[in-house]
Structure 1
Amino acid sequence: MRRVIVRRSSVHGRGVFAARPLAAGERVLQYKGEITSWRNAVRRHRREGVDGHTFLFGLSDGTVIDGSRGGNSARWLNHACAPNCETIEDQGRIFIHTLRAIEPGEELFIEYLLAIDDPANEEVRAQYACRCAASGCRQSMLADAA
């Protein structure tokens, strides 16, 4: 049986939901996509992307996984300020692990902590506004709001 399914999310567009019970610490998904340079990814995003919406995941070696190219369902993980999953980098790959037990039908969340090149003015903050409604929500998916 599949671990997760993608469907409409009340938080933002599509989301990833547990299809069966998931144990705390369980590896659920690998974030897949084309591995490229930040320069290429940003250029592509400016040309083809949507403001406030990204499938880019930075790696410690300075490259990025572009989930919009050959990505899988992990690209639909939404942000929450109190996430139930975490990302772990292992040998140039990103894996999603649960932080606690998750029930079937529950949406999976990670904390984005996005870094942007431009100053975070009011317009930029609005593009990256958080919609998680968690207790203690930072109102932003940006790292500088953490």
Structure 2
Amino acid sequence: MLTTHKISADFYDDSFKLIAIHSNLEDYAMTYAINSNCGLYLKRMAKDLHLDENLSFSVFDWDDEMNDIYWTLISNKCVVEEVVPSDGFFGDEMTMKTNYLIGERKEVDYFLKVDAAEEPAFLQKVKSINKISKVITAYPIDTETLKSKRNLIF
């Protein structure tokens, strides 16, 4: 007989704040801009976030030990090259497909996840990010409304 073990949802501390960022900057350029304008020290993690063998999202993080805040910049988009079988003269075709970490927020390019930040400091970072010239807009998101919230807990 197999035993099933379940971990209670109460066991996880999944309370965090989230900033949605709209920008066409590459992930490394966005990280540099945020570090420069917001006084953060985000660095690329050794491993990207893998949801599937083909889906990989870039992740940059920084543990601000002085203020006891953990910052994580996560790309919301992953472009994958797919082979589309074809019976035509030229054979199979290659297409590009965009997948999203948070599917219900496809318009967002990056999420800045903030653990344990106080509200005034959090709102100040939103203002600082909006001052970056290549950022279209940045705003806080209520995490309770996200269906794919579990994708941001790692």
TM-score by length of 1: 0.26
The structure with the larger Rg is 2
Per residue, is there more helix in 1 or in 2?
A: 2
Per residue, is there more strand in 1 or in 2?
A: 2
Q: Which has the higher contact order (CA 8 A, sep 6+)?
A: 2
TM-score by length of 2: 0.25
